[in-house]
Amino acid sequence: MKTAERITRALDLFWRLLTGVVMTAFALMLAIMAIQVISRYALGIAVSWTDEASRYLFLAEIFLGSVLALRYQEHIRITIVTDILSPSLRNIAASVADVICVLVLLMLVVGAWNMMDRTAGIMASTFQMSFSYIYLIQLISALLMIGLLLGDLYRRIAGGPPTTEEGRGD
């Protein structure tokens, strides 16, 4: 097996695992919220950990799901201006947008890193988990999105095939 095939298979496995993680976080969040509603309103018992656990799962789902949305080009876009541009100007506009997104994501990486440092010793109120893990998910998500955007930017500059709606060629 060639190195390129191995890399392609590893990336495919990574994207399938990430999709599984996001789907599992969503399913767990729904189950925990159902437990919360049933226990509180049907049984009259407040289960303290459900609120915090569902919040953490929601954050993981949002940040990691954003990576998947970027990979599959599913983020909301307003294209009224870019649709009237020529292909070369559209390419330039997309490249500028990618650079701006990378800069914003770099700020998110720095902020997440700082917050990980500040919250490393602070534990969640209902179970023993450091708040820094929330910011770790933000950091990982931002780095993955930066990688995707830099890959797009490289393909545009190198004149390679554009990404498709079905997902990137990586």
Tell me the pLDDT tens digit for each residue of 41-86: 888 888 888 888 999 999 999 999 999 999 998 888 778 888 888 8
pTM for the whole structure: 0.84
d(CA 127, CA 49): 7
- Please say which residue of 38, 60, 76 terminates a domain: 76
Q: What is the mean predicted confidence (pLDDT) over 158-166? A: 59
Contact present, 167 and 72 (Cβ < 8 Å): yes
108: which strand partners? Answer: none
Residue range 9-19: average pLDDT? Answer: 95
Task: Give pLDDT, residue 166.
Answer: 45
Q: Which domain holds residue 127?
A: 78-160
Question: How far apart, in whole angstroms, are the C-alpha atoms of residue 134 and residue 112?
Answer: 9
Q: Are residues 33 and 91 in the same domain?
A: no
Q: Does residue 167 lie in a domain region?
A: no
pLDDT score of 113: 96
> ∠ CA 23-5-169 to the nearest 5 degrees?
55
